[in-house]
Protein backbone atom coordinates (compact mmCIF):
# COMPACT_ATOMS: atom_id res chain seq x y z
CA UNK A 1 0.00 0.00 0.00
CA UNK A 2 1.13 3.52 -0.79
CA UNK A 3 1.89 6.50 1.40
CA UNK A 4 0.59 9.82 0.07
CA UNK A 5 1.85 13.33 0.86
CA UNK A 6 0.09 16.58 -0.05
CA UNK A 7 0.28 20.23 0.97
CA UNK A 8 -0.93 23.72 0.13
CA UNK A 9 -4.51 22.96 -0.87
CA UNK A 10 -5.64 26.25 0.69
CA UNK A 11 -9.16 24.85 1.01
CA UNK A 12 -11.73 27.61 1.00
CA UNK A 13 -15.41 27.96 0.17
CA UNK A 14 -14.44 30.40 -2.58
CA UNK A 15 -12.72 27.55 -4.48
CA UNK A 16 -15.29 24.73 -4.65
CA UNK A 17 -13.35 23.17 -7.55
CA UNK A 18 -10.42 22.41 -5.22
CA UNK A 19 -12.74 21.06 -2.52
CA UNK A 20 -14.43 18.74 -5.02
CA UNK A 21 -11.06 17.57 -6.31
CA UNK A 22 -9.91 16.84 -2.76
CA UNK A 23 -13.03 14.83 -1.96
CA UNK A 24 -12.45 12.80 -5.14
CA UNK A 25 -8.83 12.32 -4.12
CA UNK A 26 -9.92 11.00 -0.72
CA UNK A 27 -12.37 8.55 -2.28
CA UNK A 28 -10.22 7.33 -5.15
CA UNK A 29 -6.70 7.39 -3.72
CA UNK A 30 -6.41 8.20 -0.03
CA UNK A 31 -8.96 5.56 0.99
CA UNK A 32 -6.72 2.94 -0.65
CA UNK A 33 -3.50 4.21 0.97
CA UNK A 34 -1.70 3.12 4.10
CA UNK A 35 -1.11 6.71 5.20
CA UNK A 36 -1.84 10.29 4.18
CA UNK A 37 0.41 13.15 5.28
CA UNK A 38 -0.89 16.73 4.98
CA UNK A 39 2.07 19.11 5.26
CA UNK A 40 0.43 22.42 6.03
CA UNK A 41 -1.67 25.16 4.46
CA UNK A 42 -4.44 22.61 4.10
CA UNK A 43 -6.91 25.43 4.73
CA UNK A 44 -6.63 28.94 3.33
CA UNK A 45 -7.26 30.29 6.81
CA UNK A 46 -8.02 28.85 10.24
CA UNK A 47 -9.02 31.05 13.16
CA UNK A 48 -9.61 28.34 15.75
CA UNK A 49 -11.29 24.98 16.25
CA UNK A 50 -14.12 26.74 18.07
CA UNK A 51 -14.94 28.69 14.91
CA UNK A 52 -15.24 25.81 12.44
CA UNK A 53 -17.63 26.60 9.62
CA UNK A 54 -20.01 24.01 8.13
CA UNK A 55 -17.59 23.78 5.19
CA UNK A 56 -14.64 23.02 7.46
CA UNK A 57 -16.72 20.49 9.41
CA UNK A 58 -17.55 18.73 6.16
CA UNK A 59 -13.85 18.42 5.33
CA UNK A 60 -13.17 17.01 8.81
CA UNK A 61 -15.94 14.45 8.33
CA UNK A 62 -14.56 13.40 4.94
CA UNK A 63 -11.13 12.84 6.52
CA UNK A 64 -12.71 10.89 9.39
CA UNK A 65 -14.50 8.60 6.92
CA UNK A 66 -11.17 7.75 5.30
CA UNK A 67 -9.46 7.27 8.66
CA UNK A 68 -12.24 4.95 9.80
CA UNK A 69 -11.55 2.77 6.76
CA UNK A 70 -7.97 2.27 7.90
CA UNK A 71 -5.85 5.04 6.37
CA UNK A 72 -3.61 6.73 8.95
CA UNK A 73 -3.79 10.52 8.55
CA UNK A 74 -1.19 13.00 9.78
CA UNK A 75 -1.53 16.79 9.84
CA UNK A 76 1.27 19.37 10.03
CA UNK A 77 0.65 23.07 10.57
CA UNK A 78 1.31 25.56 7.79
CA UNK A 79 1.59 29.30 8.01
CA UNK A 80 -2.12 29.70 7.12
CA UNK A 81 -3.57 27.06 9.48
CA UNK A 82 -1.22 26.98 12.46
CA UNK A 83 -4.19 27.39 14.84
CA UNK A 84 -5.60 23.97 13.92
CA UNK A 85 -5.83 22.14 17.23
CA UNK A 86 -6.69 18.86 18.88
CA UNK A 87 -10.43 19.29 18.51
CA UNK A 88 -10.20 19.38 14.72
CA UNK A 89 -7.79 16.44 14.75
CA UNK A 90 -10.21 14.38 16.84
CA UNK A 91 -13.06 15.17 14.46
CA UNK A 92 -10.92 14.42 11.41
CA UNK A 93 -9.33 11.26 12.83
CA UNK A 94 -5.81 12.55 12.26
CA UNK A 95 -2.65 12.93 14.32
CA UNK A 96 -0.85 16.25 14.68
CA UNK A 97 2.78 16.26 13.51
CA UNK A 98 5.52 18.57 14.73
CA UNK A 99 7.36 20.69 12.17
CA UNK A 100 9.90 19.32 11.41
CA UNK A 101 9.23 15.60 11.86
CA UNK A 102 11.64 12.76 11.12
CA UNK A 103 9.84 9.60 10.06
CA UNK A 104 10.72 6.39 8.23
CA UNK A 105 9.50 5.69 4.70
CA UNK A 106 10.53 2.65 2.66
CA UNK A 107 13.03 1.74 5.35
CA UNK A 108 14.90 5.06 5.34
CA UNK A 109 14.67 8.20 7.49
CA UNK A 110 12.87 11.16 5.88
CA UNK A 111 12.42 14.71 7.14
CA UNK A 112 8.98 16.31 6.71
CA UNK A 113 8.46 20.07 6.95
CA UNK A 114 5.91 22.62 5.88
CA UNK A 115 8.78 24.63 4.42
CA UNK A 116 8.30 28.21 5.55
CA UNK A 117 11.16 28.01 8.07
CA UNK A 118 13.51 27.22 5.17
CA UNK A 119 12.94 30.70 3.69
CA UNK A 120 15.42 32.38 6.01
CA UNK A 121 16.20 35.26 3.61
CA UNK A 122 12.68 36.57 4.18
CA UNK A 123 13.76 38.26 7.39
CA UNK A 124 10.52 40.18 7.94
CA UNK A 125 8.43 37.02 7.64
CA UNK A 126 10.71 35.00 9.92
CA UNK A 127 10.51 37.72 12.58
CA UNK A 128 6.71 37.84 12.25
CA UNK A 129 6.50 34.03 12.42
CA UNK A 130 8.55 33.83 15.62
CA UNK A 131 6.35 36.45 17.24
CA UNK A 132 3.09 34.85 16.11
CA UNK A 133 4.03 31.25 16.92
CA UNK A 134 5.19 32.01 20.44
CA UNK A 135 3.04 29.83 22.75
CA UNK A 136 1.76 32.91 24.61
CA UNK A 137 0.78 34.62 21.34
CA UNK A 138 -0.96 31.47 20.13
CA UNK A 139 -2.90 31.19 23.39
CA UNK A 140 -3.95 34.83 23.18
CA UNK A 141 -5.05 34.45 19.55
CA UNK A 142 -7.23 31.46 20.38
CA UNK A 143 -8.95 33.44 23.13
CA UNK A 144 -9.67 36.60 21.16
CA UNK A 145 -13.32 37.27 20.27
CA UNK A 146 -14.33 35.55 17.05
CA UNK A 147 -14.95 38.82 15.22
CA UNK A 148 -11.43 40.02 16.06
CA UNK A 149 -9.88 36.76 14.83
CA UNK A 150 -11.82 37.03 11.57
CA UNK A 151 -10.58 40.57 11.12
CA UNK A 152 -6.97 39.58 11.78
CA UNK A 153 -7.22 36.61 9.41
CA UNK A 154 -8.41 38.83 6.56
CA UNK A 155 -5.66 41.36 7.27
CA UNK A 156 -2.88 38.73 7.36
CA UNK A 157 -4.15 36.99 4.23
CA UNK A 158 -4.27 40.24 2.24
CA UNK A 159 -0.84 41.27 3.51
CA UNK A 160 0.64 37.87 2.63
CA UNK A 161 -0.67 38.02 -0.94
CA UNK A 162 0.65 41.53 -1.43
CA UNK A 163 4.08 40.72 -0.03
CA UNK A 164 4.47 37.64 -2.26
CA UNK A 165 3.78 39.83 -5.31
CA UNK A 166 6.24 42.47 -4.18
CA UNK A 167 9.16 40.38 -2.94
CA UNK A 168 11.85 39.02 -5.22
CA UNK A 169 11.46 35.35 -6.14
CA UNK A 170 14.63 34.34 -4.31
CA UNK A 171 13.34 35.88 -1.07
CA UNK A 172 10.16 33.80 -0.93
CA UNK A 173 11.95 30.59 -1.94
CA UNK A 174 14.09 28.44 0.35
CA UNK A 175 17.62 29.48 1.28
CA UNK A 176 19.88 26.98 -0.54
CA UNK A 177 22.43 26.77 2.29
CA UNK A 178 19.70 25.94 4.80
CA UNK A 179 18.75 22.68 3.08
CA UNK A 180 21.93 20.58 3.62
CA UNK A 181 22.34 22.08 7.07
CA UNK A 182 18.95 20.96 8.38
CA UNK A 183 19.17 17.60 6.60
CA UNK A 184 22.53 16.90 8.21
CA UNK A 185 21.18 18.04 11.58
CA UNK A 186 18.39 15.44 11.38
CA UNK A 187 20.49 12.72 9.75
CA UNK A 188 18.44 12.30 6.57
CA UNK A 189 19.08 12.15 2.84
CA UNK A 190 15.49 12.94 1.85
CA UNK A 191 13.59 16.12 2.71
CA UNK A 192 9.93 16.63 1.73
CA UNK A 193 8.19 19.99 2.11
CA UNK A 194 5.63 22.34 0.59
CA UNK A 195 4.98 26.07 1.10
CA UNK A 196 6.88 27.49 -1.89
CA UNK A 197 4.41 26.26 -4.54
CA UNK A 198 7.37 25.16 -6.70
CA UNK A 199 6.96 21.39 -7.16
CA UNK A 200 10.20 19.67 -8.11
CA UNK A 201 12.74 17.04 -7.13
CA UNK A 202 16.14 18.60 -6.35
CA UNK A 203 19.34 16.57 -6.14
CA UNK A 204 22.05 17.76 -3.75
CA UNK A 205 24.91 16.61 -1.53
CA UNK A 206 24.70 16.25 2.24
CA UNK A 207 28.01 15.49 3.95
CA UNK A 208 29.36 14.13 0.66
CA UNK A 209 26.39 11.81 0.06
CA UNK A 210 23.71 12.00 -2.63
CA UNK A 211 20.48 13.45 -1.26
CA UNK A 212 17.18 14.82 -2.53
CA UNK A 213 14.69 17.54 -1.68
CA UNK A 214 11.14 16.94 -2.89
CA UNK A 215 8.88 20.00 -3.06
CA UNK A 216 5.14 19.36 -3.06
CA UNK A 217 2.95 21.47 -5.32
CA UNK A 218 -0.02 23.64 -4.42
CA UNK A 219 -3.55 22.82 -5.57
CA UNK A 220 -4.55 25.68 -7.82
CA UNK A 221 -4.61 24.96 -11.54
CA UNK A 222 -3.94 21.28 -10.81
CA UNK A 223 -3.49 18.98 -7.86
CA UNK A 224 -0.20 17.47 -6.68
CA UNK A 225 0.60 14.35 -4.67
CA UNK A 226 3.78 12.53 -3.76
CA UNK A 227 3.12 8.80 -3.79
CA UNK A 228 5.61 6.45 -2.13
CA UNK A 229 5.37 2.70 -2.61
CA UNK A 230 7.66 -0.26 -3.18
CA UNK A 231 8.51 1.16 -6.63
CA UNK A 232 9.87 4.36 -5.14
CA UNK A 233 8.87 8.03 -5.02
CA UNK A 234 6.51 9.55 -7.61
CA UNK A 235 5.59 13.25 -7.69
CA UNK A 236 2.44 13.50 -9.79
CA UNK A 237 0.14 16.27 -11.01
CA UNK A 238 -3.50 15.69 -11.90
CA UNK A 239 -6.43 17.83 -13.08
CA UNK A 240 -8.77 19.30 -10.50
CA UNK A 241 -11.58 20.26 -12.89
Contact (CB, 8 A) for 84 and 49: yes
Q: Is 218 annotated as a binding residue?
A: no
Q: Does 114 carry a binding-site annotation?
A: yes
Q: Is 173 marked as binding a ligand? A: no
167 is in an annotated binding site: yes
- What is the rounded distance in angstroms from the CA atom of residue 77 to the CA atom of residue 241? 27
Does the annotation flag 10 for ligand binding? yes
- To the question of whether residue 193 is assigned a binding role by annotation, the answer is no
Helix (H) or strand (E) holding 167: none
Helix (H, G, I), strand (E, B) or coil at 183: helix
Residue 80 labelled as part of a binding site: yes
Question: Is 160 within any annotated ligand binding site?
Answer: yes
Q: Is 50 annotated as a binding residue?
A: no
Q: Is 158 annotated as a binding residue?
A: no
The angle, 0 to 180 degrees and rounded to 10, between the axes of the packed helices 123-132 and 135-142 is 70
Q: Is 241 labelled a binding residue? A: no
Residue ranges of the binding site = 8, 10, 41, 79-80, 114, 122, 160, 167, 195, 197
Residue ranges of the binding site for substrate = 79-80, 122, 160, 167, 195
Residue ranges of the binding site for Mn(2+) = 8, 10, 41, 79, 114, 195, 197
Amino acid sequence: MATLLISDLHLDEERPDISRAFLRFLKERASQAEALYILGDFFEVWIGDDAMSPFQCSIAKALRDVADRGTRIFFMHGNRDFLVGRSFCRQAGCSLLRDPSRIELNGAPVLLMHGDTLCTRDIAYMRFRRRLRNPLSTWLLRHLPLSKRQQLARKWRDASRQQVRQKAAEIVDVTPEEIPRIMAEHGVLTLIHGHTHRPAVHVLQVNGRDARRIVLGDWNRQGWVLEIDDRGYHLDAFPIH
